[in-house]
Amino acid sequence: MSLIESALELEEIDVNYYRSRTLRIPLGGRGVFGGQIVGQALVAAIKTTPKEFNVHSLHSYFVLPGDNIIPILYEVERIRDGKSYCTRTVKAIQKGRCIFTLICSFTVTEPSGIEHQYPMPECLEELMREFVKQEKVPRWYAKYLEKKLELENSPIEIRNTEILEVNDLLYPKQSNNQKMWIKAKGKLGDDISFHKSAIAYASDFSLLYTAARPHGISPISKMRIGMLASLCHSIWFHDSNFRADEWLLYTMETPKAAGGRALASGRIYTQDGRLIVSVSQEGVLRLDKKKSKI
């Protein structure tokens, strides 16, 4: 079993009820990784849907942080089963409380008479491991990155598209966008529903952090983030012809931050330039006033 298959594995305990087997809290995180909860909830919904239907969109809200010590219970409600579309809602429950809700829609694939998309941007790629080796990296931050690489064992592999140097973190370029290559580790089967669940998991990586970039914020800059937490997460699947275990380009941008919240959106492309997924997320974004010199 690949890492992503293990991360999304559920135990069926009754009709419409499923339970998580593994839960992951990122290094320094407040709760279970949001992408894992989104992915597991989608897997639960898929298990109740006829095979000829593919998920085309989902919308979710994070209510409370997840605890990785006890399993999450996923309760699926079959809202509608139509000829072309069907709908499911999923509640994630821990300690008797709802910590997350999701509604998703499935459709039967049909030919399209109209097609268009955003063009795929050009980019380069870079490894975080190479960045750690640079001599000017503050030792505390290098150790953090080394520990992150060693302990997290993420099921998603990521390659930055920007050439990272120490000055890029000390004096970050102000930008409202970022790009990275992503793919699931290992070889997955041919079930497109699972590949979409893997993309749902991966779509939460770094998306909301895009909202810090217009202000020149980095982990070692003068301004620091005090709290970054997802509030809602939406995904639209435009295509069912892709593989999550092949490199995909994830482009992200942020249109607005205000009132202690930020909005970020993303687009995921195949290597041949097809736009397959669009993502949108709103979350809490607060500065660390003790460490930020403002």
Q: What is the pLDDT along the chain (294 residues), one digit of tens a residue?
A: 799 999 999 999 999 999 999 999 887 778 999 999 999 999 999 999 999 999 999 999 999 999 999 999 999 999 999 999 999 999 999 999 999 999 999 999 887 777 788 887 765 434 445 544 555 556 656 666 666 665 567 888 887 776 456 666 666 677 888 888 899 999 999 999 999 999 999 999 889 888 888 887 766 556 667 778 889 999 999 999 999 999 999 999 999 988 889 999 999 999 999 999 999 999 988 877 665 554
- Residue 78 pLDDT: 98
How many H helices and E strands in the chain? 6, 12
Name the DSSP letter for residue 120.
P
Closest CA to 248 of 177, 155, 156, 163: 156
| pLDDT number for residue 183 | 92
Enter the pTM of the model. Answer: 0.83
Give the chain's end-to-end CA distance (angstroms, integer): 48
Q: Which residues are catalytic?
A: 204, 230, 281
Largest alpha-carbon pair distance within the chain? Answer: 61
Q: Strand order of the sheet with strand 225-237?
A: 10-14, 17-20, 73-81, 85-94, 97-107, 54-62, 225-237, 275-287, 261-269, 248-258, 177-184, 156-160
Contact 284, 229 (CB under 8 A): yes
Q: Hey, how many other C-beta atoms are within 10 angstroms of the C-beta on 80?
A: 10
Distances (CA, A) of 255 to 34, 36, 213, 277: 22, 25, 11, 18
CB 274 within 8 A of CB 242: yes
DSSP 110: -
The answer to whether the CB of 123 falls within 8 A of the CB of 159 is: no
- Residue 34: helix, strand or coil by DSSP? helix
CATH numeric code, 3-108+123-287 = 2.40.160.210
Q: Where are the beta strands (DSSP E) in 70-176?
A: 73-81, 85-94, 97-107, 156-160
Distance (Å, whole) CA 146 – CA 82: 50
What is residue 280's predicted lDDT score, i.e. its pLDDT?
96
